[in-house]
Structure 1
Amino acid sequence: MSLLDWAMLAVYFALLIIIGVQTIRRVKTTDDFAVAGNRIIWPVFFGSLAAAFLGGGASLGNSGAVFRDGYAYMFAFFAFSVQTVLVGLFVAPRLKRYMGAHTVGDVMEHHYGRASRLLTGLVSLGLCAGVLGAQALAIGTIVDATLGLPPVPSIVIGMAVVVLYSSFGGAWAVVQTDMLQFVFLGVFIPVTLLLALGKAGGPGHVLAAVPDAHLSLTGGWTIGAFLGLFLAFLLGETLVPPYAQRAFSTPDARNARRGMVLAGIFSFFFFFVTASIGIVARVLYPGISPDLVLPTVVMRLIPAGLVGLVIAALLAVVMSTASSYLNSIAVIFVKDIYQPFINPEVSAARRVWLERALSVLVGVVAIAFAVSVPSIVDALLYAYGVWAPTVIIPLLAAVLFKSRNKAAGLAAMAAGGTVMAVWTWVLDEPYGVTGLVAGVTTNLLAFVVTSLLTGGRRTPEGEPPVPSAAVTAEN
């Protein structure tokens, strides 16, 4: 890289640190640290959410998988976009009924009791740790491939910056850095594709040069394998803690709906761009490793003077997701586990400092996870398998249909999680059915059967919080 490229990259990292340090003055309460004071209007929510979920899986993972398997992987990935739009239309606005909520566990306790909060908190921690580890691995891959540093030091350096601004500024810092990172990824990733297409001779030459299977709906996969992956992306990140936190951070239902729907629509475009970079790389550099597709295209095709900015864009994609999950882990542990079950009398000031300390600790654990998984996509799929079979069905039943059956909620969570674990790690996914699909199916059956057997009895805690006037008007 040229001296100008290094300078651009240094400026980017300096901006992230400055944002984190200056936002510490805005973090005075747990609401500030967890949900940015509930003041995130829809344009900011849109940019922040898009930056949060367009991480290593959507960039490096998507490019690499399409390079290897073709557009079939992108079509499966579109399931995430579909669920984001649907959640934005029908679920996110209703989350604003839960006044003072910071986590999914807050919602689950309202409907299914304290035990469901604990289970949701533990599952949330497992999910967030897995996704955070995948982003840490992606950071290391980018730095290693572009700057030539070994993987472990690369992961440590990248995660250190994420931990620094996340622990200082909480959700305020995460949202503000997300907006900066959204601009970087929204401009420079498409520029990378255009340059790659020019180098390859244009779209027509690329389409003629790649195998026909790379352009088909299912590629070389069976229909069952395609549907299994589609369902994994459809359910695996539905209402995961960082995205639910973003919805809680908005002032009303209108902002929650508009921001999430737009983020879902934007993700279709972004997935297509990063997938197409994988297709072009198949033509230009057929012998490279799939996880190195995007960094390789950047380093070989981007002209001097822009390389530093495009590397910053790649890091922006990943670091925004990493910071979101890091913030969520800290908030979840304190709100869903530490305060209700360990120290109910903890002060608000101590909670904020505990969340900051946890951000540092979890960053260290994420580094250890990142060096132990085989690929970014594998890390994400491991994490998805924890979340969807336990929480999704009871959570949607609670938010959409106001279910209050404690027995059904707990039975579904226990049965779905158990079947997923046994199906995946004991039976080794027989019949080609993934543990996620088996677990979600069991979760749904357990919820319905238990509800019928208990006669639809409701928990005795009373009705959910009364919706605000803004929510009532929206719904």
Structure 2
Amino acid sequence: MISFDVSVCILSAFLLLTLGVGIHFSRKKTTFREYAIGNKQFATATLVATILATAYSGSGLARNVEQIHTLGLYWMIIVILGDLGLWVVSGLALRMGSFMQNLSMAETIGSVYGKCPRVIVALCSIGSSVTMVAMQVHVMASSIRICIHTVDPQFIAVCSTLALIFYSSFGGIRTVVFTDVVQFMTFAVILPFFSWFIFMKLGKPFLEIFPLLQEHDTFQLSTIFHYDMNLVAMVALALSILASYIDAPIVHRVYMSSGPTQARNVFRYAGFFGICINMVICLIGLLIFVGTPEVSVVKVWDYIMTDIPPVLKGFLSVSLLAMSMSTADSCLHSGAIAVSHDILASIRSTKTYPYQLELARIASIFIGLFAMVLTFYYTNLLDLLKLNLGLYLPITVAPFILAVFGFRGTSHTALIGMASGVLTILAWNKWVEPSTGVDGSFIAMVANGLTMITAHYLLKIVGKYKLSCAKSPNYL
């Protein structure tokens, strides 16, 4: 009974702290622009913390530990390569000077390609937000259940989602940022101590761990880098995860920066610290595998919870909860901006309108509720990740990168490229992935970009040909 009380007290204290910070920063009256991106005067350290809190989620921790146990070095390489995504955004940020007054990726794409592509990207952002929040809600419920076993999991999911919606909907980006700072500091401190506990629980010298790993095929370089469909699948998924960092919640931090230089520096620092975070997560996965290599993936967390001290159980729950909430609140915020700023503003043909702020808050509530419902249909975190990549990556990333690098196509070229991305991912998921296991999100993204460039120059040639025909009736 005492152990139950200790872990619950730690969990309750963290939730009260988070809600207290959220309520404090939500009291200030604000304009819609301040609600969306703040005053653009955030300190570099604050932006680094909120980027890391957004990028490194509770679902990522849970999924990476499970997949390292199952796939070994294969998944560790995917995780490490994915860390380069923040440095990719750093390079893009330096070129985004002309877009720094925008509020979202969709607005940037709309400023180059027109209203229809902007609305499509906004819809994709909303879909991505729903799936990302669903992943975090799933982990939030699991993390609370670590301390409280007697409550129905669905009830836990509902309560945790409502608490998240409450502070993220009413406070805007200031609330999101400062709760992210608290949550980042929480899991950044707890994870190294937790990895040390797993190591002590293992009861083996550190130098004996690597020989034990070499006894298993999944941790041998010769097996991993042998050319087969598994290697192709690994590279494809790694590239998809790398490109997935160019998404609405992450790029939104560029718009919050004072300028391109600060944004570049912020993402550079975040990339370095992100590698450190993932190294700790990979170490936890390795130590758990060494301790129990024969356990199935669904039993990994049961092993972790065995003989764990009550205090550490409470801190582990808090760490998972902090990582999940910090990602989910950013996704709720970017989804709300997509509804109230990108979709409605495009329909009304005006940048601002009455009740825009209230609409953003209502949209945040509904996105959270849709995500909660989605958790009842999808329970596998890897399936939710692939769903998220398929919804967003094939459509939005290529037009955004091309716009940042100065490509200025028409609305038609953007729509043609987006259509090719959708058709590619649908065809891939139906005919290629079932037989090969290769994720097609990155390939569909490349197809989108190549089709846009091709369509742009073909339409130019056709336009010149029609103009020549109009000037010279006897041209043929």
Is the shorter-chain TM-score for this pair beyond 0.5, marking a shared fold?
A: yes
Corresponding residue of 1:29 = 31
Counterpart of 1:231 in 2: which secondary structure?
helix
Separation (CA, whole Å) in 1 of partners of 2:398 and 2:318: 38
Q: Which residue of 1 aligns with 2:121?
A: 120
Counterpart among 316, 320, 324 of residue 318 in structure 1: 324
Q: Give 1:225's match in structure 2, choosing from 219, 233, 241.
A: 233
Contact 1:56–1:376 (CA<8 Å) still a contact in 2? Answer: no
Does the residue aligned with 1:26 lie in a helix, a strand or coil? coil
Equivalent in 239, 243, 248 of residue 241 of structure 1 = 248
Look up the match of 1:284. 291
| Matched residue, 2:219 | 215
Establish whether residue 414 from structure 1 lines up as the match of residue 415 from structure 2: no
> Is the 2:89–2:251 Cα contact (8 Å) retained in structure 1?
no
Distance, in Å, in 2 between the alignment partners of 1:166 and 1:457 is: 50
Matched residues in 2 for 1:113 and 1:105: separation? Answer: 10
Larger radius of gyration: 2
CA distance in 2, matches of 1:96, 1:132: 30
Inter-partner Cα distance in structure 2 for 1:445 and 1:233 = 20
Give 1:76-115 correspondences, 5 Å limit.
Answer: 76-88=78-90, 90-115=91-116
CA apart distance, 1:183: 0.7
AA aligned to 1:119 is I
| Greater Cα offset, 162-171 or 278-287 | 278-287
Runs (5+) with no aligned partner, structure 1: 459-475
Specify whether residues 364 and 435 from structure 1 end up closer, same or farther in structure 2 by C-alpha distance, changes over 3 A only. same
- 8 A contact 1:134–1:377 mirrored in 2: no
Distance 1:364 1:289 in 2: 32
How far apart are residue 228 of structure 1 and its match? Answer: 1.7
Letter matched to residue 13 of structure 1: L
3-state DSSP class of the match of 2:102? coil
1:61 paired residue number: 63
1:20–1:169 Cα contact (<8 Å) kept: yes
**What is the SS of the residue equivalent to 2:258?**
coil
Residues 110-147 of structure 1 show CA distances to partners (whole Å, capped at 9, x for unaligned) of 11111110111111111121111111111122223443
The counterpart of 2:271, out of the listed 249, 257, 264, is: 264
Secondary structure of residue in 1 paired with 2:394: helix
Match of 2:470 in 1: none
Aligned partner of residue 225 in structure 1, secondary structure: helix
Residues 133 and 328 in structure 2, CA contact (< 8 A), matched pair in contact too: yes
Aligned to 1:436: 441
Do the aligned partners of 1:393 and 1:444 also contact (CA within 8 Å) in 2? yes
How many residues align? The count is: 454
Q: Whole-Å Cα distance in 1 between the matches of residues 291 and 281 of structure 2?
A: 15
Q: Does 1:204 align with 2:211?
A: no
**Aligned counterparts of 1:395 and 1:283: Cα–Cα separation in 2:** 43
TM-score under structure 2 normalisation? 0.89
Quick one: distance in 1 between partners of 2:443 and 2:411? 23
Deviations 1:347-384 (A, max 9, x none): 35x11111111222211111111121131121011101
SS at match of 2:266: helix
1:134 matches 2:139 = no
Amino acid of the residue matched to residue 205 of structure 2?
Answer: G
* Alignment partners' CA distance in 2, 1:246 and 1:455: 36
CA contact (8 A) 2:86 2:268 kept: yes
SS state of the match for residue 65, structure 1?
A: helix
Aligned-partner Cα distance in 2 for 1:289–1:166: 37
Percent identity at matched positions?
22
1:96 Cα deviation (Å)?
4.2
Q: How far apart in 2 are the matches of 1:457 and 1:92?
A: 35
RMSD: 2.4
Unpaired segments ≥5 residues, structure 2: 464-476
Instruction: State the TM-score, normalizing by the size of structure 1.
Output: 0.89
1:16-55 paired onto structure 2 within 5 Å: 16-55=18-57
Instruction: Tell me which amino acid in the other structure corresponds to 2:84.
Output: V
